[in-house]
Amino acid sequence: MGVKILLIDDEPMMKRMLADVFCPPDFEFQAAADGREGLRMTYDFKPDVVLLDIMMPGMSGWEVCQRIREFSAVPIIMLTAMGQTTDKVRGLDLGADDYITKPVDLEEIKARAKALLRRAALGEQTACLYSAGGDYLVIDPIARRVRVAGEEISLTPTEYNLLLYFITHPDRPIAYAELLDNVWGPGYEAAVSNLKLYILYLRRKIEPDPYNPIYIVNERGVGYRFVRSPLQEK
């Protein structure tokens, strides 16, 4: 089987052109005509790269990108006629990996998709492991894997990004707004209830006792603090 490419775009012409570019045996290409179908196919097809249009009827590409990032870390290239810098920044903040303005060069799309695949496979060779509590909690940013007490655990992309932000900013108070801005992106500064729900999910997966947390602790009226070495301190 070739590399799996999913196009989410309501333009039939774009589907036909990209089907010719991402053809067998090197690629397996599928397309969705709207955002809801694209979300379903992302979950079922499990593509290696998603090509996502922004201007679609019903669910916009912005919302599709955000929804995909709730359950998948698949590389996303946004395709759009909107070329303003603010639009590009918004797409990247929502979790997109690259951004190409229409009219597109088909070979450029192919080259960028291959570059994202190489980046996902190899990662940065200089990246290091992050750990807390000795070897109790270990994050491998290259492989995007997390081990707790020696066992690998499964995290959603949002849970992973939240934990990575905590472990790379340890031993200091982190405000709700800082977490929401850096993990969820602009526009979520007031979504504290959403953040608290994900803190609960994360505590259930990493804490020895989720109801008496020692890693992600509350900072009353401020936010949270990630304690790097709680077991040694007790």
For residue 36, give the CATH number of its domain. Answer: 3.40.50.2300
Residues of the domain holding 94: 3-122
Q: Are residues 145 and 221 in the same domain?
A: yes
Q: Are residues 110 and 201 in the same domain?
A: no
| 3-class state of residue 200 by DSSP | helix
Tell me how many domains the chain contains.
2
For residue 193, which phi and psi values (nearest 5 degrees)?
-65, -35
Tell me which of 104, 122, 140 is where a domain ends. Answer: 122
Predicted local confidence at residue 233, as pLDDT: 40
Predicted local confidence at residue 234, as pLDDT: 36
CATH number, domain of 178, equals 1.10.10.10
pLDDT digits (tens, 9 = 90+) for 120-156: 664 444 456 888 988 899 998 877 789 999 999 988 7
- In the block, which residue shows the tokens 């807390």? 132
Predicted local confidence at residue 152, as pLDDT: 93
CA distance 66 to 42: 13
Q: Are residues 139 and 197 in the same domain?
A: yes
User: What is the β-pairing status of strands 27-32 and 3-8?
Assistant: parallel
Q: Are residues 35 and 111 in the same domain?
A: yes
Predicted local confidence at residue 121, as pLDDT: 60
Tell me which of 71, 105, 122 is where a domain ends. Answer: 122
Predicted local confidence at residue 214, as pLDDT: 95
**What dihedral do alpha carbons 169, 173, 176, 177 form, nearest 10°?**
-70
Q: Are residues 147 and 108 in the same domain?
A: no
| CB contact at 8 A, 25 and 47 | no
Q: Are residues 64 and 81 in the same domain?
A: yes
Q: Are residues 151 and 201 in the same domain?
A: yes
Amino acid identity, position 93? D
Predicted local confidence at residue 145, as pLDDT: 86
Q: Are residues 182 and 145 in the same domain?
A: yes
**Cis, peptide link before residue 103, omega less than 30° from 0:** yes
Q: Are residues 86 and 193 in the same domain?
A: no
Q: Are residues 212 and 135 in the same domain?
A: yes
Query: Which element (helix H / strand E) includes 233?
Result: helix 230-233
Total residues belonging to the chain: 234
Tell me which of 103, 122, 141 is where a domain ends. Answer: 122
Predicted local confidence at residue 83, as pLDDT: 60
Q: Are residues 50 and 67 in the same domain?
A: yes
- In the block, which residue shows the tokens 């039939």? 12
Q: Are residues 37 and 73 in the same domain?
A: yes
pLDDT along the chain (234 residues), means of 10: 92 93 93 95 94 90 89 86 67 78 86 78 56 89 85 86 91 93 77 90 95 95 91 43
